Amino acid sequence: MKNTRLSVLALLVVALVLGLAPAASAADEPRLPDFVGGSTDAPGVEVRIERSTTGQTDGPFETAATTTTDASGRYRVTLAEGLYRATFNAQPNGSAESRLRGSATYRSDSWSGGEPYFSVRPDYRGGPWSQELETTYLPSRTGRLKGQITSICQDARPHGRSEVYAADDADPARAGSFAFYDATGYDVTGFEEPTKVLVRADGYLPSWVGGDDFASATPFTLPTTGATPTADTQGPDVTLEPAFEDGVTSTVRGTVVNRSYDGVSGLEVRLYRSVTDTPEGPWVLEATRTSGSGRGAGSFTAPVPQGLYRATVNEIPDGSPASRTYLPRAWRHWSAPKLQGTGVEDATNICVNRGTVELGAQTVEPAGGTFAGRVTDRRGEALSWVEVALYADDATDGDPIRTTRTDGFGRWEMPAISGAAKLRFTPGKTYVNGQQLVVHRTAWSGGASDADSAQTVSAERGSTTSVDVRLLDAPLVVQKNPTVPPRPLAGSRVTANPGYSTVSAATQRYQWQRYDGRRWTTISGATRRAYHPTASDVGHQLRVQVTHVPPRSYEGVAPVTVASRGSSTIVRTKAHVRASAKVKGSRSFDVSARITLGGTPRPTGTAYVQWIALRPKGDYLYPSGKTYERRVRYSRGALRTTLRTPRSGYWAYAVIVPGTKTVIEHYDDHYVRLR
């Protein structure tokens, strides 16, 4: 028995010791490593990460990880917690970028410097995290070599790249590459040893700088001072030769625009091809296209065989409205010297040497003079935002040749066409009571109402013809009907909302009406915006008629009468309730009320009585639990009922006359206390 007790005691001691031993915490467990990444402007260079063995900035440091940047210059390593520093391209690995770039040390701010260290710390939960370092930019080992790119093509701003080679190594795998976009020249850095440059551009044959091939290309020794470039070197110009493929069709696209850069539709575009694919020609017509309309106004697309082309616009006018509107024009690239030529000999070269060739936009000049004028209403007030549309003299309607709009003073101006024309004036929308409405009529030149009777006008090139017009007022239109507040109370003031019409200066006349069950009858004397319903209106529908009367200056515009719409408007009375309570027992109390209705003395009807328990909290009482309700009939304005409660305490009560606006007086008597 004694041995048994000792064994039990020993077990208890062991359990106690085990229970008191601290459990292994998450902090004592080895933590997962962190991912650290960043970027440089150099692909394929070595990244060396070193860790401080003491956690201090003065080291010593030991190598923790090495990696190589990918094709986009990014890198990523796995690191434990600690203080680190990073170097880039400290030991060139033989790649082209490592030979073109110097070494660099990571800085926390690549622009202003910053600290040459970074820390790896756990996240707030103690787990691993991913950290992105500031971008590091590596310096060039040499100065820059620059030169111009030229071509027989009008778009001598090709897309491509410049490749740099060691003068004794023609292997493209060991060449550096510098991309360029929409360029007029090449701009590269080189190796510390002599460097040669090859320019490649989309749609052109490769061209060596200073020679016809690698062997004859000029080797450039660019100045260096350690890893810091010192100066730029000017290289020779490179002339790119277009690469045309026989039997291959490409697409030519362009847009014809006017001086306002709006697309011009209906003009013929002619594409001529050089038989010899040289600027000397001869030139033969290859394709014709007409500039489009609608959403693609002014644009055209033409599939043609690859080769050297030139283009003209409206070279041979065909008498259409568009051809009468604009002068013939040779297609010239925007970068070429300005020249108002009309034939193929005045156009610039177009190299169709790739899938799609974008010509951009060609501006055409107006063939006629200028139309100008002012648009007003019948009262002489300027009308802004009126659309002025130009049509040929034989047009009846449809798409105009061009349009413009009047300014804030009603003035407008647009280029004319050669010969006679018609003008249409379409009013814009005017803000009336916050809404945009059309308040004037459309007119044609000469004040005509349609194109057939419009007066023709003309303006010779270099001259201006004045065309003024007055727009008639449109018929008055009620944009919003009048309204009456729902369920107005007898004896109260009811104010109508008159709505609004397209004539903001119109005045309103009012007439209130009552519905007697068969028809609407006029209420004598009720001719103001506000009306006071009486006891005789109780139970009837009520509406108001509003007549919008334009001022006398709106000649020919008739008044318009409209009535309020919507669901029937019921005129009800206003209820006044005065309630009180008297304790009857520990779980009941009597509620009494006097009820009056406007227009109906000592009424009889049904009311609702509600009661709910109140729970004290501090100095206040709060509703608690279920709300009880009872329907009680009152007679000759008097109501009395006994309410029973499930327990004693504070109880709130209310007397409500349904379907009316209710007022309960004596606020401090709206609850009782049952003891």
Whether 225 contacts 136, CB under 8 Å:
no
Q: Give me the CATH number covering residue 198.
A: 2.60.40
Whether 573 contacts 660, CB under 8 Å:
yes
10 pLDDT exceeds 70? Answer: no
Name the one residue in this structure whose structure tokens are 């043609």: 304
Q: What is the mean pLDDT of residues 366-383?
A: 93
Looking at the domain assignment, is residue 20 inside a domain?
no
Predicted local confidence at residue 5, as pLDDT? 43
Helix (H) or strand (E) holding 100: helix 96-100
Which of 563, 587, 604 lies at the terminal end of a domain, its last residue?
563
Residues sharing a CB contact under 8 Å with residue 77, sequence separation 6 or more, in sequence order: 35, 36, 37, 47, 49, 64, 65, 67
Q: Give me the CATH number covering residue 453.
A: 2.60.40.1120
The total number of structural domains in the chain stands at 6
Q: Within this chain, do residues 355 and 264 fall inside the same structural domain, yes or no?
A: yes
Separation between Cα atoms, residue 303 and residue 249, nearest integer Å: 6
Q: Within this chain, do residues 160 and 123 fall inside the same structural domain, yes or no?
A: no
Q: Is 93 helix (H, G, I), strand (E, B) or coil?
A: coil
Q: Within this chain, do residues 555 and 459 fall inside the same structural domain, yes or no?
A: no
Separation between Cα atoms, residue 170 and residue 161, nearest integer Å: 17
Q: Within this chain, do residues 546 and 632 fall inside the same structural domain, yes or no?
A: no
Q: Within this chain, do residues 498 and 453 fall inside the same structural domain, yes or no?
A: no
Percent of all residues in the chain with a pLDDT value above 70, rounded to a whole number: 88
Q: Within this chain, do residues 602 and 518 fall inside the same structural domain, yes or no?
A: no
Q: Please write down the HEC assignment for all residues of 561-613.
A: EEECCCCCCECECCEEEEEEEEEEECCEEEEEEEEEECCECCCCEEEEEEEEE
Sign of the torsion formed by the C-alpha atoms of 445, 447, 450 and 454: negative
Tokens of 218: 């000029």
Helix (H) or strand (E) holding 4: helix 2-20
Predicted local confidence at residue 150, as pLDDT? 87
Q: Which of 69-83, 438-452, 482-496 bottoms out in mean pLDDT, i.e. has the lowest?
A: 482-496
The closest alpha carbon to 309, from 252, 387, 233, belongs to 252
673 pLDDT exceeds 50? Answer: yes
Separation between Cα atoms, residue 403 and residue 675, nearest integer Å: 88
Q: Residue 227 belongs to what domain range?
A: 144-240
Which of 363, 379, 403 lies at the terminal end of a domain, its last residue?
363
Predicted local confidence at residue 297, as pLDDT? 92
Q: What is the mean pLDDT of residues 340-356?
A: 90
Q: Within this chain, do residues 150 and 128 fall inside the same structural domain, yes or no?
A: no
Looking at the domain assignment, is residue 29 inside a domain?
no
Q: Within this chain, do residues 222 and 316 fall inside the same structural domain, yes or no?
A: no
pLDDT in tens, 418-474: 889 999 999 988 776 677 777 899 999 999 999 999 999 999 988 999 999 999 999
Q: Within this chain, do residues 434 and 374 fall inside the same structural domain, yes or no?
A: yes
Looking at the domain assignment, is residue 569 inside a domain?
no
Q: What is the mean pLDDT of residues 516-529?
A: 91
Average pLDDT across the chain, whole number: 85
Residues sharing a CB contact under 8 Å with residue 277, sequence separation 6 or more, in sequence order: 242, 244, 307, 308
Q: Which of 35-49, 96-110, 447-461, 586-600 bottoms out in mean pLDDT, i.e. has the lowest?
A: 586-600
Q: What is the mean pLDDT of residues 111-136?
A: 78
Whether 126 contacts 282, CB under 8 Å:
no
76 pLDDT exceeds 90? Answer: yes
- The per-residue DSSP string of 470-489 comes to EEPBPPP-EEE--B--SSPB
Q: Give me the CATH number covering residue 655.
A: 2.60.40.10
192 pLDDT exceeds 80? Answer: yes
Looking at the domain assignment, is residue 348 inside a domain?
yes
Separation between Cα atoms, residue 657 and residue 661, nearest integer Å: 8
Q: How far is CA 393 from CA 322, 401, 417, 418, in A?
A: 13, 11, 10, 11
Q: Within this chain, do residues 107 and 67 fall inside the same structural domain, yes or no?
A: yes
pLDDT in tens, 617-635: 988 999 999 999 999 988 8
Long-range contacts of 64-72 (CB under 8 A, 24+ apart): 68/44, 68/93, 69/39, 69/40, 69/42, 69/43, 69/44, 69/45, 70/43, 71/43, 71/44, 72/39, 72/43
Q: Within this chain, do residues 200 and 277 fall inside the same structural domain, yes or no?
A: no
Between 534 and 258, the more confident residue is 258
**Other C-beta atoms lying within 10 Å of the C-beta of residue 406:** 23
Q: Is 174 helix (H, G, I), strand (E, B) or coil?
A: helix
Between 339 and 120, the more confident residue is 120
Q: How confident is the model at residue 110 (pLDDT cuts 50, 70, 90)?
A: low
Tokens of 190: 């080189």
Helix (H) or strand (E) holding 9: helix 2-20
Q: What is the mean pLDDT of residues 644-657?
A: 91
E runs forming strands in 209-282: 224-225, 228-229, 233-234, 238-240, 249-257, 268-274
Looking at the domain assignment, is residue 2 inside a domain?
no
**Other C-beta atoms lying within 10 Å of the C-beta of residue 97:** 20
Predicted local confidence at residue 521, as pLDDT? 92
Q: Which of 9-23, 70-84, 561-575 bottoms out in mean pLDDT, i.e. has the lowest?
A: 9-23
Looking at the domain assignment, is residue 11 inside a domain?
no
Q: What's the N-to-C CA distance of the chain in angstroms?
A: 69
Predicted local confidence at residue 216, as pLDDT? 95
Predicted local confidence at residue 173, as pLDDT? 85
388 pLDDT exceeds 60? Answer: yes
pLDDT in tens, 216-248: 999 999 988 664 556 789 999 998 999 999 999
Looking at the domain assignment, is residue 570 inside a domain?
no
Predicted local confidence at residue 577, as pLDDT? 84
Q: Within this chain, do residues 492 and 448 fall inside the same structural domain, yes or no?
A: no
The closest alpha carbon to 234, from 244, 222, 243, belongs to 222
Whether 365 contacts 330, CB under 8 Å:
no
Predicted local confidence at residue 27, as pLDDT? 42
Looking at the domain assignment, is residue 138 inside a domain?
no
Which of 563, 592, 610 lies at the terminal end of a domain, its last residue?
563
Predicted local confidence at residue 325, as pLDDT? 85
Separation between Cα atoms, residue 503 and residue 63, nearest integer Å: 85
